[in-house]
Amino acid sequence: MAVEGNERGKAPAVDEPTVAVLGLPGFQLLEVSEFDGELEYLVETTDTLVGCQRCGTIARPKDRREVVLRDLAHADRPVRIRWRKRVWCCVDPDCPAKTWTEASWLAEPRRHLTNRARTEICRRVGQENASVALCARNFGVGWHAAWAAVTDIGTPLADDPERLEGVRAVGLDETMYLHARRGRRRVLVTGVVDVDTGRLLDVFIGREAADLRRWMATMPPPWLDRIEVVSVDPHEGYRSAVVGADPATGRRSPWGHVTVVVDPFHLVRLANQAVTKTRQRVQQEALGHRGWKDDPLYGIRRLLLVGAERLGERGWARIHDGLERGDALDEVTEAWIAKEKLRDVYLTDDLAIATARLDDAIAFTSASKVKEVKTLAKALCRWRTEILAHHTTGASNGPTEAVNLTIKSVKRCGRGFRNFNNYRLRLLLVAGVRWQTQPVTRLRARPRLIARKGGGHGRGGQAA
Ligand SMILES: [Zn+2]
């Protein structure tokens, strides 16, 4: 399709629906060609009357300069836009402006991607956790151009203070960032999660008290004040920074007022670990090797971690049989009972009942001779208040764990990260930003497919 360029006035009427469909307001489409499965639009702006940026005199069109941009795909075909940019010049010989090239909403100067293509790359990387390399390939640009789109558009989204609004309870949990290598210790990062919505609020390097204090110092004090509950895994570093004063300055913690909760997930995991460690030690001591397929304890290694109320008749029979043959001193049995007693704490919402059950679990584990169970007893004593706080606040770190899974998938998708700031941005875009995309009407609803005159350009894929 070729349409005469019209220098004086409006673009020809026939072109308006086309421009609306393509979402190119302010442009006229001169030509569409297709080769090798790619579409190419030849366009120019409809501006014909432009004032000089410096003196305001009506400018004179001087020249055309063509730029080629990569745009959003259209009807499954990659799109190139060939934009015949106007070069204007000022007619006033004394004006310092001389000549300039026109600008438009379509693309920033010297970019190879249109703004909406860049927004789409950022959205895919964030909302869909697509890899930057894949986006770069899809848009026919280099990795750096695609990543620049992610940082330019994503950073304001990640830094938006509105993201932090309305948070009442946060969860802290660590994930691996870099594994240990020769000459480098492993690096852990802490994720800060809004426990009520499961959104990632921030990540920082480290998981010790000093790391958490450093991060708190970067957060707005009124925001820290509004937090009521902090949910942690049973790790002393977090608790001492949340509750205790800074040993370096003696200043009280900005979170001195919050209720610290140890969440059920981590506690049950601790109890499960006690069962597994006991089983492995007993196995090793009795048979002199790690579990083999037909060893009695090895055969029930997973069943031992299943909650008692979920064991069927066959499960019970297998556990009894396995323990009878492999657990001569009843050590694994004891660890298993300890785990079940701890799980019982969470089978009630009643604080008094939960307290009684926890104290029963503490008494049982403290009296045990099994060293793994004794270790568990120590943890239960140390965290008794925080364990019971679960029943008063109802806070759980479950959402934090869900975010941890997302974090792992981001890491896999990024094939490992070396730059922490890039890593943080990726994580926040995937797990911390609410993506608002154009809602799609149901197909059976009222049809609205008539392109309006001078219709606005498409809003699909725009991040807000
Ligand atoms: Zn001028």
Asked if 399 and 405 touch (Cβ cutoff 8 Å), the reply is no
CA of 109 to the centre of ligand 1 (A): 21
Residue type, 336: W
CA of 101 to the centre of ligand 1 (A): 14
As a whole number, mean pLDDT of residues 230-252 equals 85
CA of 50 to the centre of ligand 1 (A): 11
H helical segments located in 327-370:
331-345, 351-367
Cα 380 to Cα 238: distance, rounded to the nearest angstrom: 17
In the chain, pLDDT over 70 holds for what percent of residues? 90
Residues 6+ apart with CB under 8 A from 107: 67, 69, 83, 113, 114, 115
Structure confidence at residue 428 (pLDDT): 93
Cα 224 to Cα 216: distance, rounded to the nearest angstrom: 8
CA of 49 to the centre of ligand 1 (A): 14
Whether residue 218 has pLDDT greater than 90: yes
CA of 97 to the centre of ligand 1 (A): 5
CA of 85 to the centre of ligand 1 (A): 19
pLDDT in tens, 328-356: 888 999 999 999 999 999 888 889 999 99
In the chain, pLDDT over 90 holds for what percent of residues? 43
As a whole number, mean pLDDT of residues 127-150 equals 93
Q: What integer best gives the mean pLDDT of the chain?
A: 85
Structure confidence at residue 461 (pLDDT): 40
CA of 68 to the centre of ligand 1 (A): 28
Whether residue 252 has pLDDT greater than 60: yes
Structure confidence at residue 256 (pLDDT): 86
Kindly indicate the confidence band of residue 3, based on its pLDDT and cuts at 50, 70 and 90: very low
Residue identified by tokens 């190879």 is 112
Cα 367 to Cα 373: distance, rounded to the nearest angstrom: 9
Structure confidence at residue 445 (pLDDT): 57
How many helices and strands in the chain, by DSSP H and E? 16, 10
Structure confidence at residue 416 (pLDDT): 67
As a whole number, mean pLDDT of residues 8-27 equals 68
Cα 210 to Cα 195: distance, rounded to the nearest angstrom: 23
Q: Helix 351-367 vs helix 371-382: angle between axes, to the nearest 10 degrees?
A: 140
Structure confidence at residue 451 (pLDDT): 57
CA of 94 to the centre of ligand 1 (A): 8
Structure confidence at residue 14 (pLDDT): 44
User: DSSP characters for 262-306?
Assistant: E-HHHHHHHHHHHHHHHHHHHHHHHHSSS--TT-HHHHTTTGGGS
pLDDT in tens, 29-49: 999 999 888 999 999 998 888
CA of 111 to the centre of ligand 1 (A): 26
As a whole number, mean pLDDT of residues 265-289 equals 89
Q: Which token pair is 189? A: 């990062």
Phi, psi of 229, rounded to the nearest 5 degrees: -130, 135
Segments of 123-222 assigned E as strands: 169-178, 187-194, 199-205
pLDDT in tens, 285-305: 888 777 777 788 888 888 889
CA of 100 to the centre of ligand 1 (A): 10
Residue type, 102: E
CA of 276 to the centre of ligand 1 (A): 80
As a whole number, mean pLDDT of residues 190-203 equals 90
CA of 10 to the centre of ligand 1 (A): 26
CA of 60 to the centre of ligand 1 (A): 10
Residue identified by tokens 């994720």 is 191
Residue identified by tokens 């004794």 is 374
Structure confidence at residue 398 (pLDDT): 66
Q: Which residues pair with 409 in a beta bridge?
A: none
Residues 6+ apart with CB under 8 A from 187: 176, 177, 178, 205, 206
Q: Which token pair is 74? A: 């259209």
What Rg, from alpha-carbon coordinates, does the chain have? 31
As a whole number, mean pLDDT of residues 22-34 equals 89
Q: Higher model confidence: residue 278 or residue 408?
A: 278
Structure confidence at residue 363 (pLDDT): 95
The least confident of 269-278, 363-372, 378-387, 434-443 is: 434-443
pLDDT in tens, 350-400: 899 999 999 999 999 999 999 999 999 999 999 999 999 988 887 666 677
Structure confidence at residue 187 (pLDDT): 81
H helical segments located in 4-131:
15-22, 115-127
Element at 212 (helix H, strand E): helix 209-218
Whether residue 458 has pLDDT greater than 50: no
